[in-house]
Every structure is written in C-alpha cells, then in structure tokens.
C-alpha cells in the first residue's frame, strides 16, 4: 500500500492550505484583469497576463503565510 494513503492532515493545516490557495487564486485573477485592462487589448486576458500576475502574487502569498504564522505563534505564546 502507498505510504501517502496513511497521511492525515491536521484541520488547522487544511484550513490554512484552503485559505492560501484561495488567496493566491484571487490575487492572480484580479492582477491578470488589471494587467489586461492596462494593455493594448483590455478586453482580452491572456496566459501571459496570468503568468505575470502569478509571479507577482507569489510575493503576496509569501507575506500572508509568514504573517499568519507569526500571529499563530503569538496566540500560542499568550
């Protein structure tokens, strides 16, 4: 049997993953729309817009993950 079949995910970890995925997807979509709006063809969102938006959104995701971890650590210390 596959080792991953026995993997159990903590509820807090699963919630964080869902939150991060949602944050990243929302950020990419909104940034891609803004990039398209500023382009020569504002009605057309291209793969290039999404690619560029994803690269920019990675930083936002990293900040959110670090901030969330810091606030959880502070709550546990209290």
Q: What is the mean pLDDT of residues 26-43?
A: 96
What does the pLDDT read at residue 7? 73
- Is the predicted pLDDT of residue 61 greater than 80, yes or no? yes
What does the pLDDT read at residue 29? 97
Q: Is 34 exposed, middle or buried (0-12, 13-18, 19+ CB in 10 A)?
A: middle
Q: How much is the pTM?
A: 0.71
- Is the predicted pLDDT of residue 73 greater than 60, yes or no? no
Burial code (b: 16+ CB inside 10 Å, e: under 16) for 10-20 equals eeeeeebeeee
- What is the rounded CA–CA span in Å between residue 20 and residue 59? 12
């Amino acid at each position: 049997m596959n080792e991953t079949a026995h993997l159990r995910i903590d509820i807090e970890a699963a919630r964080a993953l869902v939150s991060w995925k949602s944050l990243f997807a929302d950020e990419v979509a909104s940034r891609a729309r803004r990039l398209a709006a500023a382009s020569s063809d504002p009605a057309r969102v291209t793969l290039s817009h999404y690619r560029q938006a994803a690269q920019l959104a990675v930083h936002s995701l990293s900040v959110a993950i670090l901030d969330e971890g810091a606030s959880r650590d502070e709550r546990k210390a209290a």
